[in-house]
């Protein structure tokens, strides 16, 4: 089987209804989608990604009203958050209904759910006629894909179809929150930051909630990636011929190095949309090390630093 990349939603939906997996574009990253109604397809997601069966999946819905379908008794706070942030990059963890297979939740009674903003994703879910599980379309712990061709490169011959929605506009995974009756916990930041959620009662994350994306190593290239405070200082330790620099902002003194630019104007949102594609490009350059500076720890920069810490596990600030 050769994986096809195309834009035909009907073809993608037919594969999903038949129990196959499909690469699905969202505004965050591409997902590896399966129908939530088909247990064997959900199991195939874990197997194809080599993802532990203990790591729950995110369920994607097409309408705000679907919250009442996937969760029997969602708290009012969850409904308020849905009204404000859906469709969009916010995943909510709440108690699941019996309609949702425990394969999707890794045996848990809690469910991670979001409504993506990408029109192609919403149309696909509607065509299938059921919500879709769709973790990032990458082998477990690898860099999340933000283009259809990256999905094909990962899974060529293992899935029949990748729905091509172009480059993901946000470029990093969704914010994940656990919603309780009267407060919420932020488990993973994304484009929706703590500042966006500040008007809601937020309690400290006690790290006891099992949720997607909570493994220590994640988003990682094969090439060792080092997250540094200052590239100008760090490059003194690394030879130019085997080092790739991922830059944030204009620099004029790294001409002897291979460089990839995230945002010359130091715009965090632009850097986010380019981060994973830059990491993938750097990973293809036959380097011995990739260097990247930490971002300002504010807004979406906090989410970017969290991704880098996991991608550069045991390589921080060296």
**CATH code of residue 102:** 3.90.870.10
Residue 194 lies in a domain: no
Final residue in a domain of this structure, among 160, 188, 216:
188
Residue 207 lies in a domain: no
Give yes or no: residues 39 and 178 share one domain: yes
Q: What is the pLDDT of residue 261?
A: 97
Give yes or no: residues 85 and 167 share one domain: yes
Residue 167 lies in a domain: yes
Q: How many CA atoms lie within 13 A of 33 on its CB side?
A: 33
**Using CA atoms, how far apart are residues 65 and 33, in angstroms rounded to an integer?**
21
Q: What is the pLDDT of residue 253?
A: 83
Specify whether the backbone of 189 is left (phi greater than 0), alpha (psi in -120 to 50) or beta.
beta
Residue 270 lies in a domain: yes
ω into 62 cis (within 30 of 0): no
Q: What is the pLDDT of residue 218?
A: 78
Question: Could you tell me where the beta strands, DSSP code E, fall in 231-288?
Answer: 243-248, 258-263
CB within 8 Å of 284: residues ≥ 6 apart: none
Give yes or no: residues 170 and 102 share one domain: yes
Give yes or no: residues 236 and 292 share one domain: yes
Give yes or no: residues 243 and 182 share one domain: no
Give yes or no: residues 160 and 255 share one domain: no
Q: What is the pLDDT of residue 252?
A: 80
Give yes or no: residues 175 and 252 share one domain: no
Final residue in a domain of this structure, among 141, 161, 188:
188
Residue 181 lies in a domain: yes
Give yes or no: residues 9 and 54 share one domain: yes
Give yes or no: residues 45 and 140 share one domain: yes
* CATH number of the structural domain spanning residue 267: 3.40.50.11030
Number of domains observed in the structure of the chain: 2
Residue 29 lies in a domain: yes
Final residue in a domain of this structure, among 188, 217, 247:
188
The CA-to-CA distance between both ends of the chain, in Å, stands at 44
Residue 209 lies in a domain: no
Residue 214 lies in a domain: no
pTM of the model: 0.94
Q: Tell me which residue range forms the domain holding 100.
A: 4-188
Give yes or no: residues 173 and 235 share one domain: no
Q: What is the mean pLDDT of each run of 10 residues along the chain (318 residues)?
A: 96 98 98 98 98 95 96 94 98 95 94 98 98 97 97 98 98 97 95 96 73 69 94 90 95 90 97 98 96 95 95 65
Q: What is the pLDDT of residue 207?
A: 58
């Amino acid at each position: 089987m050769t994986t096809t990349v195309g834009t035909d939603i009907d073809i993608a939906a037919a594969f999903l209804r038949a129990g196959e997996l499909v690469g699905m574009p969202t505004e965050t990253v591409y997902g590896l989608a399966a129908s939530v109604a088909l247990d064997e397809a959900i199991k195939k997601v874990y197997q194809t990604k080599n993802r532990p069966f203990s790591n729950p999946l995110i369920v994607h819905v097409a309408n705000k009203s679907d919250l009442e379908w996937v969760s029997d008794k969602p708290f009012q706070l969850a409904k308020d958050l849905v009204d404000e942030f859906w469709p969009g990059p916010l995943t909510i963890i709440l108690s699941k209904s019996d309609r949702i297979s425990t394969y999707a939740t890794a045996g848990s009674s809690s469910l991670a759910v979001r409504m993506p903003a990408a029109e192609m994703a919403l149309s696909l879910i509607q065509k299938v006629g059921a919500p879709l599980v769709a973790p990032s379309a990458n082998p477990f712990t690898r860099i999340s894909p933000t283009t259809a061709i990256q999905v094909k490169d990962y899974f060529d011959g293992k899935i029949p179809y990748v729905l091509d929605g172009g480059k993901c506009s946000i470029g990093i995974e969704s914010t994940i929150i656990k919603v309780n009756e009267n407060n919420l916990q932020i488990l993973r930041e994304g484009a929706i930051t703590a500042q966006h959620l500040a008007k809601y009662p937020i309690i400290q994350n006690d790290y006891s909630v099992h949720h997607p994306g909570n493994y220590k190593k994640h988003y990682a290239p094969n090439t060792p990636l080092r997250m540094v405070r200052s590239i100008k200082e760090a490059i003194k330790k690394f030879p130019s011929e085997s080092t790739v620099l991922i830059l944030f902002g204009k620099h004029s003194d790294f001409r002897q190095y291979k460089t990839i630019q995230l945002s010359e104007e130091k715009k965090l949102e632009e850097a986010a949309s380019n981060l994973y594609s830059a990491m993938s490009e750097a990973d293809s350059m036959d380097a011995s090390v990739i260097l990247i500076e930490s971002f300002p720890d504010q807004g979406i920069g906090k989410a970017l630093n969290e991704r880098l810490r996991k991608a550069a596990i045991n390589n921080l600030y060296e």
